[in-house]
Amino acid sequence: MSNYRESYPLAGETILITRAYQSGNSFRQMLEAKGATVLEMPALEIKPPSSWQPLDKAINHIADFHWLILTSANGVEYFLERLHHLGKDINYLKNLKIAVVGKKTAHFLEKYNISPDFIPPDFIADSLVTHFPESIEGKKILFPRVETGGREILVQELTQQGGEVVEIPAYQSTCPDTIDNTVWDALVKEVVSIITFASSKTVRNFHYLVTQALQTTPQLTLSSLLTEVAIASIGPQTSMTCQELLGKVDIEAQEYTLEGLVDSLVKKQYTS
């Protein structure tokens, strides 16, 4: 039995993962390999920006920029997709330095045979500014990002250091219209033991969708729905949003990656 427990430390746990529509299932596979039963809740819809014009203009004037900052796999995908749409390839970027936030973003970039020039050690935006490899003053920085609700702090800190940050909408991240019926049923019937969040936006959208659903079940409240559920967060920013909207955080990844989140879930089970 102890060997089974060591091999499958998450056996007996039903984990709800909040994710984007059509996102990869590597996180699910990691959890299932540890013995967990996994439910998936689409909490984000990723779409093209409302206009391609700003991104196209920036790409066509890429020689004006010193650095390109990418903070998500979506940012990588939409930026490079548009680059190719304009008839250019990765050689067009050869004089541009690239910084990324997050191991997943770096791995996604490498799929296109592009090696970033800088990855901050802690995989978070704050760390990027603190450990930036050269003076930011006077540097022109291209930041393709989500159209609304992105990393305001990163832009503020880079600007305070003397950088000129050009923010360009590369994609939209919107909330689905309704919560998945299977997921809602599992929450109401207290089947779910852990909910994971990999971004503040998934927390906000989960909160919105659940709040909407609760209007049809007046005998329940958000607090009562989550009483027996552990909330697991990928890092400090996401945890702050969990505390604000859900009232608690039970598990926070020590390394701010999906692998780190799995490790923290496993350690929590061993010590609980």
pLDDT value for 7: 84
pLDDT value for 271: 55
Is residue 24 over pLDDT 70? no
pLDDT value for 154: 85
Share of the chain above pLDDT 70, in %: 93
Is residue 263 over pLDDT 60? yes
Alpha helix (H) residue ranges in the chain = 2-7, 26-33, 53-60, 73-85, 103-110, 125-130, 152-160, 181-188, 200-214, 222-226, 236-246, 258-271
pLDDT value for 58: 97
Is residue 21 over pLDDT 80? no
pLDDT value for 221: 95
pTM of the model: 0.77
Among the listed residues 218, 200, 58, the one whose alpha carbon sits nearest the alpha carbon of residue 125: 200
